[in-house]
Structure 1
Amino acid sequence: MNTPSPAPLFEDVADGPAGGRADWIVTYDGARIRVGWWACDGAKGTVILLPGRTEYIEKYGRAATDLAARGYAMLTIDWRGQGLADRPMPDRLVGHVEHFDEYQRDLDATLAHARAVGLPEPFYMIAHSMGGCIGLRALLRGLPFKAAAFSAPMWGILMAAWMRPVALTVSTLSRFVGAGGRYTPGTGEASYVLAAPFAGNTLTTDSAMWGYMVTQGKAHPDLTLGGPSLGWLRAALVECLSLGRSASPAVPALCALGLQEKIVDAGPIHARMAAWPSGRLDLYPACEHEVMMETPTTRARFFDAACALFDANR
């Protein structure tokens, strides 16, 4: 990996604690990604926050404030293919990877950087949506997280059961005809947050947090991302199938799931958490996909529960 260099951090829209920093780092396979962090005086440890598909560092500035209030530093990441990280396709708005192992390379580089800049251990994980898929694989690999809190983890993609084999077949065939970089059917270059109205959206019931995300996308459109590629869909389906065959790790964990979830498949979440040693599933009535972008009461409940778990596993 190359020597890190300073990267932009859009503090005008992040609304995080004072003193945030960001760096460019390069993974061992040559991808340039961006990491951002907020230190915390006297921190009890550092939360590594693994964001979902389409997300970026600034979206979690308020989460850094919530964690700092509970005594934790936070570091998060622009995964390859999104945010300001390298995007591999000529159309930079299509979200694409060939294999989910690529995200593990990003996470390995991120943990090394967290140590290099002196963020305090132990490390804890908060992982949302696609980040939950990446995070579960990281725990199975034995990466050094003392405990993990998941938010609507993508352990399955919500679609009709008959569609799964069709989606896997079509997305796999796309690789052989040079179409892996095309958008999945029904998606395109538009950012969901910028294109969809608040009414009826599938992310949050809180208009203030919706406005927070819209403001970020309008102020810094380079952060935004459109739909996933057929290649990403294949990689995601393959990884979810593989994870589904794996036993849960012996790491204390909790998982938050909104009862209005419409993006990830809730079935694998219920099944895994029912069998997870030292695991707990917390259900959130009247919540959509993004518990950390919900009402203040909901957000406080999630961060209180996550930090209680972290406090208990020092």
Structure 2
Amino acid sequence: MDGAPVELQPAPLFAEIAQGPANGAAHWVQTADGLRIRAGHWHPGGTAKGTVLLFPGRTEYIEKYGLAAAEFAACGYATLTADWRGQGLAGRMLAERRLGHVGHFTDFQKDVQALTALADQLELPRPWFLVGHSMGGAIGLRALIEGLDVNACCFTGPMWGIQIPPLMRPLVRVLSGIAPYLRLHERLLPTTALEQYVQVTPFEGNTLTTDPEMYRMMHAQLEAQPDLALGGPTIQWLRVSLEECAWLAQQPSPALPCITFLGTDEQIVNCEDIHDRMDRWPGGELDLIEGGQHEVMMETPDIRAHVFSRMCRLFDQHSG
């Protein structure tokens, strides 16, 4: 029957490594271009005030945000998140599954559409709120510009620009330009590895977090479920990501309440682009996290408490 809801397809959720609320579940959903992605959700114990749409970063997966979902549940909010195409248990884009790849950055919007359709089908409580981390910050900003229906938004280390060492910039420009013609676009980006960052990088000197327990958790999750791992990006991923950042930089900021959290020791995304965006976001606020690195939701207990408290207060203010 036309218009009938699609039957929900259960998917694995590795609750033992996610450490989220006890009522978590996951489903397979299909995108408009026929790809299968995985979506996971958790609920608070009582009546929810609303739902947080949590957009993860590159290489990430549902279980990494179980602890975040527990924080939101403690504040009365449900959480819905996903494995984007090409990562986690979602359909991988290349035969070498460890390569981070996407054909067009806007393809991620098909994943957003599938995710929000699932939220409607599950009747996840409104209002909805957006939290976008790193690459999920770029995906989320475009989704907002294109009309994603949320009451407020937060970003952590959003990828509105990519930090490229000065000596690497000429090489990146050359590679990005010639890769499609020399059939190099599916090659691993130089200086990166096929293994996931936390699998090959010791805690000392890492660029993600200053909290050793959180770093151990990330490593333990991948040890327990190796299929979740994703290595470095392809040249194509970098090319289309830079194009997306350039497009986003030309767009006005959405008319939404917003807090963006940025660690003062951020080394992955371009901080100047974040400052520029928040300087022209009416009603938006940039919260600089002293000593924080890229993963402020997985930083020291004091930083995590500050970030989640501020997010939930913002959502409470706009839940009516």
* TM-score (norm. length: structure 2): 0.96
Residue of structure 2 aligned with 1:85, choices 65, 76, 90: 90
Aligned residues of 1:4 and 1:26 also touching (Cα < 8 A): no
Q: Within 1, Cα distance between the matches of 2:6 and 2:176?
A: 34
Q: Which among 197, 215, 240 is matched to residue 210 of structure 1?
A: 215
Measure the CA separation in 2 of the matches of 1:3 and 1:182: 38
Q: Which amino acid aligns with 1:115?
A: D
Superposed displacement of residue 162, structure 1: 6.9
**Alignment counterpart, residue 294 of structure 2, candidates 289, 292, 300:** 289
Percent same amino acid among aligned pairs?
A: 51
Say which SS state the counterpart of residue 81 (structure 2) adopts. strand
Structure 1: how far apart are the matches of 2:161 and 2:132?
Answer: 15
1:110 pairs, out of 89, 106, 115, with 115
> Distance between the aligned counterparts of 2:249 and 2:100, measured in 1?
23
**Which residue pairs with 1:23 in the alignment?**
27
Q: Secondary structure at the match of 2:33?
A: coil
1:274 aligns with 2:279: yes
Alignment partner of 2:230 out of 217, 221, 225: 225
- Describe the superposition over 1:143-192 as per-residue Cα deviations: whole angstroms up to 9, x where unpaired: 10111000000000001457546424412421222221111011121111
Deviation, 1:225, is 0.3
Q: Which amino acid aligns with 2:38?
A: R
Does residue 1 of structure 2 align to residue 9 of structure 1?
A: no
Alignment of 1:1-314 (within 5 A): 3-40=7-44, 41-160=46-165, 163-164=168-169, 166-314=171-319
1:28 and 1:93 map into 2 onto residues whose CA distance is 24
d(CA) in 1 for partners of 2:302 and 2:136?
23
What CA distance in whole angstroms lies between the structure 1 residues aligned with 2:216 and 2:172? 33
Q: Deviations over 1:80-135 (max 9, x none)?
A: 00000000101000000011111100011100101101110111011100000111
- SS in structure 2 of the partner of residue 146 of structure 1: coil
For 1:157 and 1:133, locate their aligned partners in 2 and report how far apart those are by CA, in whole Å.
11
Count of matched residue pairs: 314
Distance 1:3 1:170 in 2: 44
Structure 1: which amino acid aligns with 2:271? Answer: A
- Letter matched to residue 22 of structure 1: A
Give the unaligned 5+ runs of structure 1. Answer: none
Q: Give 3-state SS (helix, strand or coil) of 2:152's partner.
A: strand
Q: Within 1, Cα distance between the matches of 2:167 and 2:204? A: 30
Q: CA deviation at 1:247?
A: 1.0
